[in-house]
Structure 1
């Protein structure tokens, strides 16, 4: 029995029909007539020497041979699609798709993108604001910016500065709670998006850093960091805000950080792409801009006594 592969068009017709379990729907997907698709599948069955589908009255079912072929056919066309997409990207030096979390996109990236666009008018930049795990080999994404720990095996990774956290609030709320001790009576806002950090970067940890024994459990909880920061801007209370999420609101006076003690997390932002992709002109331009924008506000860290979270975690 020969292992010579049948024509690719016949395998493609089979793959579509196996996914839809309908010749009509598969023909529509491939933009061919049902008769043409049926002919392709019939030729594939003749090449194999046995049927791949049971033709029922108003439906089709895979035979045992069809069930054996379907997964490999699907995987094969997926692999071909990924390879073709990767090859086409090598010729594209103007389009760039970046994925980042919704909070970072809203609070840090979006306010700065005018500057990048002005510097690089030839780059068409697209953003996908999501925390969904992406596969840079499969998904139509060039760069991922993620916060945490990884793992980042098999990827080009640039780790930027660690994040520190400090209480921030509106100027009006700050007037009511002028000391760390008084903050124990303040309405507190919780950013639950960082609950995964170890050791924890929570209110209890910050209070220990300033010598106050207080483990607050009640307050307003948000699953997104930007929503928690926006609540603080609106005067709801104080939030233990991450540097990247609060920096612009601090600079523009919507928030104040009255206590100059911050805790430094073990997590950090990473710039991620496939190995070799970092040398593509638009990716390199975005990476350099991203790092330089972070460095522009590095001096603000000098205003705080930044304590590594490991130094104030419970024994």
Structure 2
């Protein structure tokens, strides 16, 4: 049976352009010029008889037809590449790099990664831990999990789980010369910081207190060391009850008082808003939404 197919080179150009939503980056991927990508896409649009991209003054986006075509073409090209590599004896494993906060990675994700590997052995997953925001244009990262309010410029954020921060400390700090009973008592204690001092400063302001204590205290960017310091009675840190439930249940940590008011942060799955997720990124997204219950 003779198949009536669009020009295959044009399909490759379209898939790269749709993946990046940028013809310059698509050209770099295929080692051609942006003009060549644009020409191939125009040829494909003429073949279909309708536009596949919306060409704005600053950015590209897919039309309804383009959005229908992209996942089909991407999957077909992926399967061709995988089959070719198997035939040549060189199994091809798509690489997926995910950046997560150290707390989320060590206290939630690590215990669940085995399930993802069983479901997707074909994906070469690389998990990078960082407390800093990802620059998707500079860093070699496909997806990120970050804690905050989800309003990061240039990104698409999907809420995964609530993670309201509360002061947590050793029960030893509830007694002594300056027992922790009210938020104002924090001025007598060391405040521990994971990333920077902004989170404590914002919490104190939300509690109606002077933010001066929040501008001092050690910064410990390893969450396990931070928690151990708090358990040892060396200070108070802002932690998510969701992530610290084991220590709270055992009594190693306590929440001396209720959280302050203000915005409620959460963990978000983050990706760049100028590129469509590939098959590996889509698989991880489906996995993490299912595990957190955010996809229900």
Answering whether residue 223 of structure 2 is matched by residue 217 of structure 1, we say no
Please state whether the residue corresponding to 1:193 is helix, strand or coil. Answer: coil
CA contact (8 A) 1:165 1:265 kept: no
CA RMSD of aligned residues (A): 4.3
Distance, in Å, in 1 between the alignment partners of 2:186 and 2:133 is 36
Gaps of 5+ in 2: 1-22, 32-72, 79-91
Distance, in Å, in 2 between the alignment partners of 1:196 and 1:215 is 10
Q: Label 1:78 to 1:161 Cα distance change in 2 as closer, same or farther (>3 A).
A: closer
Please state whether the residue corresponding to 1:229 is helix, strand or coil. Answer: helix
Distance, in Å, in 2 between the alignment partners of 1:253 and 1:122 is 42
Answering whether residue 140 of structure 2 is matched by residue 146 of structure 1, we say no
Q: Label 1:250 to 1:113 Cα distance change in 2 as closer, same or farther (>3 A).
A: farther
Moved over 6 A (4+): 76-79, 87-90
Instruction: Give the corresponding residue for 1:157.
Output: 157
Q: Which has the larger radius of gyration?
A: 1
**Equivalences, count:** 210
Instruction: Give the corresponding residue for 1:99.
Output: 99
Q: Which among 233, 238, 252 is matched to residue 236 of structure 2?
A: 238
Given the two structures, how large is their TM-score scaled by the length of structure 1? 0.49
CA contact (8 A) 2:180 2:256 kept: yes
Q: Label 1:272 to 1:185 Cα distance change in 2 as closer, same or farther (>3 A).
A: closer
Q: Which has the higher strand share?
A: 1
Q: Label 1:185 to 1:163 Cα distance change in 2 as closer, same or farther (>3 A).
A: same
Displacement of 1:168:
0.9
CA contact (8 A) 1:201 1:265 kept: no
Please state whether the residue corresponding to 1:151 is helix, strand or coil. Answer: coil
Answering whether residue 204 of structure 2 is matched by residue 203 of structure 1, we say yes
Instruction: Give the corresponding residue for 1:109.
Output: 109
Displacement of 1:161:
4.3
Q: Which among 190, 214, 237 is matched to residue 188 of structure 1?
A: 190
Distance, in Å, in 1 between the alignment partners of 2:152 and 2:259 is 30
Gaps of 5+ in 1: 1-75, 297-315
CA contact (8 A) 1:163 1:264 kept: no
Instruction: Give the corresponding residue for 2:268.
Output: 270
CA contact (8 A) 1:162 1:264 kept: no
Instruction: Give the corresponding residue for 1:135.
Output: 136
Distance, in Å, in 2 between the alignment partners of 1:113 and 1:194 is 28
Q: Label 1:139 to 1:194 Cα distance change in 2 as closer, same or farther (>3 A).
A: closer
Please state whether the residue corresponding to 1:201 is helix, strand or coil. Answer: helix
Instruction: Give the corresponding residue for 1:287.
Output: 285
Please state whether the residue corresponding to 2:164 is helix, strand or coil. Answer: strand
Displacement of 1:124:
3.0
CA contact (8 A) 2:192 2:235 kept: no
Q: Label 1:118 to 1:247 Cα distance change in 2 as closer, same or farther (>3 A).
A: farther
